[in-house]
Structure 1
């Protein structure tokens, strides 16, 4: 099938990563994918090489840009598109106006704020809780399916631990408001005062990076804590190999990719009790769960894991098993493929 995969407006962070991942998973299942984006996002597009993905740019000034809708309608008809996946409210509005009746417009919801996606014909929801919100808003009158974000789960042979043997703590995040990294620095300062020998890496980039680096300096942690900035894929793999524990400290995410990646790498996790993120893990089974913004509780969890290698191993094993069963690329790709074919068939579209 030929599928348009689009995002407008909020095309940053996890949403952008999920849009690119969706394109690649569908292409890997043999579909022809048109990645439809605003021209301002073109420089973020990776090199797809021989993958069956075509990048098309179309300027869209907002939810009610009628000229953009006319151009999108022409594109969908000329290219005989079978289905549309829209990763943002603006993309839903644009493409629902443009799509022929037999072409389903599917909202891929990455946020609990679903109001602007309700015009879609169907919904892919990254967590069960999000599906509950969609079903409540639509009265269950439109198809809604739980389809997780996907991660590339490394092979067992790639999981070797690297480093100097010291207890190693990691976090990887956009360095922006709401991610709780100030709480992490405060917890690390508590660990230092308790005499725990550790090193830490806080990877990522964003407008708060200078402030975070100042916090590290002020807490007298510069000799223990590294802030290396954004990591490419090789750097991310090296990061996960080097840490014993991954910290997820956010107070706002729905299904954080960092958590899914940490699970894939078989790492022990300390996560917050934020409503969205905590739906991915269970306290004492796949993570130790702490209150959002509580450095004392976070420090306690990290100290516990620093002293209990068996618990770290158990949490990591359970987490990796969950990643293999629920979040791996091939699992999510098959689910996407099945659900899209069902939705297209229900609307009398493509029969191939």
Structure 2
């Protein structure tokens, strides 16, 4: 059975999906499946031409808005690149981005399409202040979910929370499958260590949706309470300068280290004590599972897929979104009590190994793929 895994970003790009799919593909190929990766290189911009049509809505009333125009052009570019590069046929296509899914079904209408929706682009844009909630760009992007439902043979998402979110925009939400992300256990190696000063770490793109301003304010509160710490921020993004200035204003710049982008943060994470990320929204929150697999105690916000990964007080701590005092108190609790921190991290590691292993994902996807296996010809 020949399967194409269609990404949007190239595999070397950061992010849960791009870092997960190549490892998943390797597992399948070692078991005798034939799989290939496909994605759109960054250098392909403005190449595609032609008319774009959707079967469930008319996109042209939204034309003229930069986000919409860029999205449409990217679809054209993906079509152009796909026609240039794909000369083979496949028994099944598994797409991991709406653009990849829509293009593949347009160009290969007779090939079964599995579509995994990993995150909400429109919600990220709203939280990052790029588009207004319920504006034309938001309406365009959410209309794509109905289009995907119409075109894909099977819709999958990564958490029950995100399935509930999608249910507002599709006709048959009960048909959406849920397969949480999985991670190659061999990549993560917890390390026994003792840090005299508690080490906090956060790994994410530096954008407003991740709530790092709340984290910095919470760390300033920790300092006011006399709690020593060092905060390590791995990642880059448009608000890095703003966050560095905020750390200075709050008097915690000496306790905060900005690393910028790092290709393999999982090699670095096991030497810290607590992973914390007060996101304002997460469809799944892959980095929490990765932190748990690294043996860290985890602290997150009670939203989306984070709340499905963390059982408060058992394998981590949950706090409300934008609540500086609650976050500071949670951090104080885990960094001030090493035994409690160890207990949280041990249970988190056990759950992550059981629930978010790549072995589990491969098994679930194998069952889905076999549904579309062609029957042998009758003799």
- Range of TM-score over shorter length: 0.7 to 0.9
Query: Following the alignment from structure 1 to structure 2, what is the Cα–Cα distance between the partners of residues 70 and 17?
Result: 22
Equivalence for 2:113: 105
The Cα shift of 1:300 comes to 0.4
| 2:373 counterpart SS class | helix
Equivalence for 1:53: none
CA deviation string 1:222-254 (max 9, x = no partner): 322111112232x5322x222211102111211
Matching of residues 30-49 of structure 1 within 5 Å = 30-40=32-42
Equivalence for 2:129: none
8 Å Cα contact 2:180/2:361 also seen in 1: yes
Equivalence for 1:197: 228
Cα 1:21–1:117, aligned 2, differ >3 Å: closer, same or farther?
A: farther
Match of 1:288 among 301, 317, 326: 317
Query: Following the alignment from structure 1 to structure 2, what is the Cα–Cα distance between the partners of residues 307 and 68?
Result: 56
Query: Following the alignment from structure 1 to structure 2, what is the Cα–Cα distance between the partners of residues 305 and 180?
Result: 20
Equivalence for 2:105: 96
Equivalence for 1:57: none
The Cα shift of 1:107 comes to 0.4
Match of 2:292 among 243, 263, 274: 263
The Cα shift of 1:335 comes to 2.0
Match of 2:308 among 275, 279, 283: 279
CA deviation string 1:307-344 (max 9, x = no partner): 22222122112211111111112221222222212233
The Cα shift of 1:64 comes to 6.5
8 Å Cα contact 2:231/2:257 also seen in 1: yes
| 1:341 counterpart SS class | helix
Do residues 71 (structure 1) and 83 (structure 2) align? yes
| 1:197 counterpart SS class | coil
The Cα shift of 1:168 comes to 1.4
Deviates more, 1:325-334 or 1:158-167: 158-167
Match of 2:28 among 26, 29, 32: 26
| 2:314 counterpart SS class | coil
Ranges in structure 2 where 5+ consecutive residues have no aligned partner: 45-71, 121-141
CA deviation string 1:70-128 (max 9, x = no partner): 938x94xx523111011122112111122253x31010111255344212110222112
Do residues 170 (structure 1) and 201 (structure 2) align? yes
CA deviation string 1:29-73 (max 9, x = no partner): 43332322223269xxxxxxxxxxxxxxxxx9444679649938x
Query: Following the alignment from structure 1 to structure 2, what is the Cα–Cα distance between the partners of residues 178 and 155?
Result: 27
CA deviation string 1:252-274 (max 9, x = no partner): 21111110101112221111012
Query: Following the alignment from structure 2 to structure 1, what is the Cα–Cα distance between the partners of residues 242 and 32?
Result: 46
Equivalence for 2:172: 139
The Cα shift of 1:349 comes to 7.9
Do residues 250 (structure 1) and 282 (structure 2) align? no
| 1:344 counterpart SS class | coil
Do residues 236 (structure 1) and 266 (structure 2) align? yes
Match of 1:151 among 166, 176, 183: 183
Equivalence for 1:55: none
Match of 2:364 among 294, 310, 335: 335
8 Å Cα contact 1:6/1:19 also seen in 2: no
Query: Following the alignment from structure 1 to structure 2, what is the Cα–Cα distance between the partners of residues 139 and 247?
Result: 36
CA deviation string 1:137-183 (max 9, x = no partner): 342685x4322212233589x32234642111111111112110111
Match of 1:321 among 350, 367, 370: 350
8 Å Cα contact 1:252/1:274 also seen in 2: yes
Query: Following the alignment from structure 2 to structure 1, what is the Cα–Cα distance between the partners of residues 224 and 377?
Result: 64
Deviates more, 1:128-137 or 1:336-345: 128-137
CA RMSD of aligned residues (A): 3.1
Cα 1:309–1:325, aligned 2, differ >3 Å: closer, same or farther?
A: same
Equivalence for 2:61: none
Query: Following the alignment from structure 2 to structure 1, what is the Cα–Cα distance between the partners of residues 202 and 259?
Result: 11
Query: Following the alignment from structure 2 to structure 1, what is the Cα–Cα distance between the partners of residues 253 and 5?
Result: 43
Equivalence for 2:336: 307
Equivalence for 1:8: 8
